[in-house]
């Protein structure tokens, strides 16, 4: 990594000075997950529209990552499989039309967006989670025909037409096998930090002309199950099908790479009446997702219920639902609730204080972070395309101005300093080796530089650095690929006491290495 990039990363990661009276009392390193979804379906977040040139796609993606760093986020959940297609080079499914404009067409000139996303995220100290839709085969926003390699063409017997969508039948074991094959391929071939599925299990009910729900067309699949000796009723059978997929995703991911976190973001209500004050959509009966069971069984490393309701809305109160989910977290997994940031933006349906109030409510509980939907609601006001020069992500200027105001307030009030990803002790089996560190004067610039070296055999995901000088502590959280940090300019030479730790992919922190200069 060149010195310019090192300096920029250090500047992005620096925490403002924290005054301390005692050098023996260093500031604590904050632990909090701050994630954001980046949706590709219908070009919600990225790319801003289908068919952009490869360099425009890359520039937009990098702008999103840079914005996440600027706002002191530490994770991106990138949608890579919106509808049995791929925003990466998949051997099993065609390139997405949301990327290139034509399903099955690779970017030109060629690049792999997921490889780029992982590399650039890690260079910035961000986690990159690959987000998959497990069953959807075609979205209502699709305008082009499916490629010859799409499952609706190669195996039409596995696909059902439902409303304006195509849906893979969750009751067919071959569909489960296909989704597992796709997700595990990404785990094997890409250095992702997590894999993630959203709330679309069996589809949300489509309404007919008579205003009644249209039944999902899986009668033949269920009849085959019964003919083979199955005894479950149809609703329980559907839930069992989804349970099987969720459990297998978890077990088989851990068999490949134990450090890759598995996360699910289900609908925020499990069932109406749980807890008693809650009313609304019954995801247990209508999506056939027994999300409480997945959390109770420990089939996730993090659980992100979509709590898209305001604090004061009694039938679906944010803190009431969060407390209920925390009570169901019997395995002690990460609970990182999901927020709909666009509703808190100017012109949205929430008051300006709502989003920040919800995050404060999260911090008042045992939950250890939050996930924001979506990056479009957080991009800067300058995110427009001017001629052929990309400044950011193209969206409507009034909406972006509101988003920028929302994001800046979030940073000023709550995300003013970086935070480290929370540890996952149920996954870790070892502690990282104590790193090496040294302080020295740079022969060219005369700056005082800290050099960071991993312990033998250790892979570092992040460094924490705390420096005491002239009665003040300064703190940094740095990407693991970084090896040097300027801790004092040539004009500010003074005695320095530094504390350094290495943090691995599990979030486990090493013993502290202490080093002094003068």
**CATH number of the CATH domain containing 307:** 3.20.20.80
Question: Has residue 335 got a pLDDT over 50?
Answer: yes
Three-class DSSP category at 122: helix
Question: Has residue 385 got a pLDDT over 70?
Answer: no
User: What integer pLDDT is reported at residue 52 of this predicted model?
Assistant: 97
Task: Strand 33-38: give its sheet, edge to edge.
Answer: 334-335, 302-303, 261-264, 194-197, 127-132, 75-81, 33-38, 369-373, 338-340
In whole angstroms, give the CA distance from residue 45 to residue 233.
40
Lowest mean pLDDT segment, chosen from 215-229, 311-325, 342-356, 382-396: 382-396
Strand partners of residue 121: none
User: What integer pLDDT is reported at residue 342 of this predicted model?
Assistant: 85
Question: Has residue 460 got a pLDDT over 50?
Answer: yes
Indicate whether 327 and 380 sit together in one domain: yes
In whole angstroms, give the CA distance from residue 238 to residue 318.
29
**CATH number of the CATH domain containing 463:** 2.60.40.10
Indicate whether 22 and 55 sit together in one domain: no
Indicate whether 12 and 61 sit together in one domain: no
pLDDT band at 382 (very low <50, low <70, confident <90, very high): low
Number of domains, the chain:
2
Indicate whether 203 and 88 sit together in one domain: yes
Q: What is the mean pLDDT of the chain?
A: 91
Question: Has residue 1 got a pLDDT over 70?
Answer: no
Residues 260-304 have pLDDT tens digits of 999 999 999 999 999 999 999 999 999 999 999 999 999 999 999
**Structural domain containing residue 496:** 3-28+427-517
Indicate whether 11 and 47 sit together in one domain: no
Indicate whether 37 and 23 sit together in one domain: no
- Residue 421 in any domain: the answer is no
According to DSSP H, which parts of 276-433 are helical? Answer: 283-286, 291-297, 318-327, 354-363, 397-413
In whole angstroms, give the CA distance from residue 231 to residue 229.
6
> Checking DSSP bridges between strand 334-335 and strand 136-138, what pairing results, if any?
unpaired
In whole angstroms, give the CA distance from residue 516 to residue 497.
5
- Residue 418 in any domain: the answer is no
User: What integer pLDDT is reported at residue 220 of this predicted model?
Assistant: 97
pLDDT band at 491 (very low <50, low <70, confident <90, very high): confident
- Residue 487 in any domain: the answer is yes
């Amino acid at each position: 990594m060149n010195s310019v990039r090192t300096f920029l990363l250090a500047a992005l990661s620096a925490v403002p000075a924290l005054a301390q009276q005692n050098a023996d009392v260093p500031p604590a390193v904050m632990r909090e997950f701050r994630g954001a979804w980046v949706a590709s379906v219908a070009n919600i977040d990225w790319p801003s529209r289908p068919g952009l040139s490869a360099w425009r796609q890359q520039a937009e993606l990098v702008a999103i990552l840079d914005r996440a760093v600027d706002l002191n986020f530490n994770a991106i959940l990138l949608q890579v499989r919106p509808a049995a297609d791929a925003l990466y080079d998949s051997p099993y499914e065609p390139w997405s039309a949301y990327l290139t404009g034509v399903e099955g067409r690779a970017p030109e000139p060629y690049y792999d967006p997921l490889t780029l996303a992982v590399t650039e995220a890690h260079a910035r100290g961000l986690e990159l989670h690959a987000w998959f839709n497990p069953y959807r085969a075609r979205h209502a926003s699709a305008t082009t025909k499916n490629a010859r390699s799409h499952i609706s063409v190669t195996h039409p017997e596995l696909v059902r037409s439902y409303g304006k969508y195509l849906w893979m039948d969750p009751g067919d074991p071959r569909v489960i096998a296909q989704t597992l094959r796709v997700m595990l391929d990404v785990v094997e071939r890409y250095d992702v930090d997590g894999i993630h599925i959203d709330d679309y299990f069996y589809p949300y009910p489509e309404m007919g002309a008579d205003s009644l729900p249209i039944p999902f067309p899986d009668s033949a699949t269920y009849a085959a199950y019964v003919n083979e000796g199955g005894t479950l009723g149809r609703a329980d059978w559907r839930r069992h099908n989804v349970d099987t997929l969720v459990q297998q995703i978890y077990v088989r991911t851990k068999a490949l790479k134990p450090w890759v976190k598995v996360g699910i973001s289900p609908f925020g209500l499990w069932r109406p009446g749980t807890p008693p004050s809650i009313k609304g959509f019954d995801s247990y009966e209508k999506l056939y997702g027994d999300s409480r069971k997945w959390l109770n069984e420990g089939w996730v490393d993090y659980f992100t219920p979509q709590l898209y309701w305001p604090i004061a809305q009694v039938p679906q109160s944010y803190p009431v639902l969060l407390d209920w989910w925390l009570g169901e977290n019997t395995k002690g997994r990460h609970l990182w609730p999901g927020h709909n940031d666009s509703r808190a933006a100017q012109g949205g349906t929430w008051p300006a204080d709502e989003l920040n109030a919800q995050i404060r409510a999260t911090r008042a509980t045992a939950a250890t972070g939050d996930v924001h939907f979506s990056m479009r609601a957080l991009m800067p006001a300058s995110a427009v395309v001017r001629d052929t020069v990309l400044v950011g992500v193209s969206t409507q200027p009034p909406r972006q101005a509101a988003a920028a105001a929302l994001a800046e307030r979030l940073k000023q009030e709550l995300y003013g300093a970086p935070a480290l990803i929370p540890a996952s002790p149920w996954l870790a089996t070892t502690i990282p080796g104590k790193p090496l560190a040294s302080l020295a004067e740079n022969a060219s610039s005369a700056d005082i530089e800290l050099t960071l070296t991993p312990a033998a055999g250790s892979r570092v995901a992040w460094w924490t650095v705390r420096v005491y000088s002239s009665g003040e502590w300064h703190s940094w959280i740095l990407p693991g690929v970084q090896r040097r940090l300027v801790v004092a300019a040539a004009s500010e030479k003074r005695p320095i006491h530094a504390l350094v730790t290495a943090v691995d992919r599990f979030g486990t922190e090493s013993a502290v290495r202490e080093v002094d200069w003068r």
